[in-house]
Structure 1
């Protein structure tokens, strides 16, 4: 894999930071390429060298975090729900500014939908409808319920500015997942 020029990485990081700062100030739909250009201190042409438009920039930013969450899931495939949730909540905590902007603001419903779909993929294999309390229930309904509940609790955590430590959040989420999925 070829090494990426540091100037390119620096420009992309400046643009990602700019979009998050601007989203803290106004709805994403009202952000212009000129706003991004001014905030990141790059030319409009430079933005178009790296991204198709502002939606492509946002999509790439979101994708970076979804990929990281997926990799963390894969690395922790054989652990229980509490420890698995701890891995995620540590990542949420260390990337607080991004996730709080994406989940607690009205400017990023696209991220919420992507995050929800990601969770559906992750929980699909965890739900067992062949025995126990889920016997006879529709797996699609259960998976959507679990994913929606998880997103809702994480949104609550960010919207209320981390009212409990991420470790406690992980323990609570892990316990609830264990009850709902097994």
Structure 2
């Protein structure tokens, strides 16, 4: 694998951070490439070297975070729910500006749908309707219930500025998952 120049990585990081900061200040539709360029302190040409447009930039930024979350799931796949949730909530805490901007912004419903679809993939093998408590439920109904609840909890936690520690969230969400899956 070819080694990427640190200057390129630094420019890309500045561009991504600029977009996140701008989205926390105004609607995505109102953000221009010039705004991103000014905030990142790079030329417009530098942005176009890496991204087709602001939509491509947003899509790649979201994909990067979804991929990071997927890797967290793979790394904790054998753990109990409470233990497996802790790296998740720590990740959400570390990436608060991005996550909160994506969940609060009217311009980023794409993130929410990608997050939802990602969780569907992660939880689909966890749903067990053969258990006594879930026997009368359809698998898809239970899966949608769990995923929608999980997304809702993350939204609540982030929008309320994380009123509970990541450790406590991981524990409580883990207990809820154990009871329902």
Tell me, yes or no, whether TM beats 0.5.
yes
Runs (4+) of structure 1 exceeding 6 A deviation are none
Distance 1:105 1:167 in 2: 26
* 2:146 aligned with 1:146: yes
Quote the residue 2:115 is aligned against: 115
Quote the residue 2:42 is aligned against: 42
Q: Is the 8 A contact 1:104 1:158 kept in 2?
A: no
After superposition, residues 140-179 of structure 1 pair within 5 angstroms as 140-179=140-179
Between Structure 1 and Structure 2, how many residues are aligned? 181
Quote the residue 1:96 is aligned against: 96
Quote the residue 2:76 is aligned against: 76
* 2:19 aligned with 1:19: yes
**Unmatched 5+ residue regions in structure 2?**
none
Distance 2:162 2:131 in 1: 36
- 1:31-82, Cα deviation, whole Å (9 max, x unpaired): 1111111111222121111001111111111111111111111111111111
SS at match of 2:145: helix
TM-score for both structures, normalised by structure 2 = 0.96
Q: Is the 8 A contact 1:82 1:170 kept in 2?
A: yes
**Unmatched 5+ residue regions in structure 1?**
none
SS at match of 1:173: helix
Distance 2:160 2:105 in 1: 12
- Over the aligned positions, Cα root-mean-square deviation in angstroms equals 1.0
